[in-house]
Amino acid sequence: MSIPIPRFLIIVLGAGLVLLLACVILVFALRTIRQNNTDIYRREALEAIKLRTNDPQWVLSELAEMQKKHNDDAWLSEHLILAKNGEWMAYCSTCSKTNWKIQDIFLCKASDNNWYDSTYHFCVHAIVLQANGQPDSLRTFIAQYGLHKLDETPETTSR
């Protein structure tokens, strides 16, 4: 003898399954959107950094502009970070608070001629950098913010 399942329960369970499936599809779609947009940002940022650092005068003129600030943030510009020991990083950075379609990402070419990336959350306008203050060196910056050396760089991929 089978117990009949009320029609209402079947409808509720069916609707719940449809809703669950829609949520799963939405999560995967959003993840794909974020990954695709992050990949686009990454390519564009690496190219922008490459263009800046390929100009031998860019770093010098950026440093000169930074020195004109005469404030505590004279070591940080929109595209350059200067360590206390004189090492520098030409960078691009964004966070998901600025654009939800892009994951937190930091990319840079440093004065050691290496490229680095990180998913550290520097927040909007890199306020975490401002709050933490000027790094002592490239080495301390790499350790503090979990930078990883890139194997492929604009120089190796454009050949």
pTM to 2 decimal places: 0.79
| 154 within 8 A of 46, measured Cβ to Cβ | yes
Q: Where residue 3 falls among pLDDT bands split at 50, 70, 90?
A: confident
pLDDT above 70: percentage of residues in the chain: 95
pLDDT at 1: 60
- For residue 2, being part of any structural domain is answered with no
Q: How far apart are CA 20 and CA 41, in angstroms?
A: 32
| 102 within 8 A of 30, measured Cβ to Cβ | no
- For residue 117, being part of any structural domain is answered with yes
Residue 98's nearest CA partner among 76, 124, 75 is 124
133 dihedral zone (left: phi>0; alpha: psi -120 to 50; beta): left
| 124 within 8 A of 95, measured Cβ to Cβ | yes
Q: How many domains is the chain partitioned into structurally?
A: 1
Tell me the residue range of the domain where 88 lies: 7-157
pLDDT at 116: 97
Identity of the amino acid at 39: D
- For residue 114, being part of any structural domain is answered with yes
- For residue 79, being part of any structural domain is answered with yes
- The answer to whether residue 157 scores a pLDDT higher than 60 is no
- The answer to whether residue 75 scores a pLDDT higher than 60 is yes
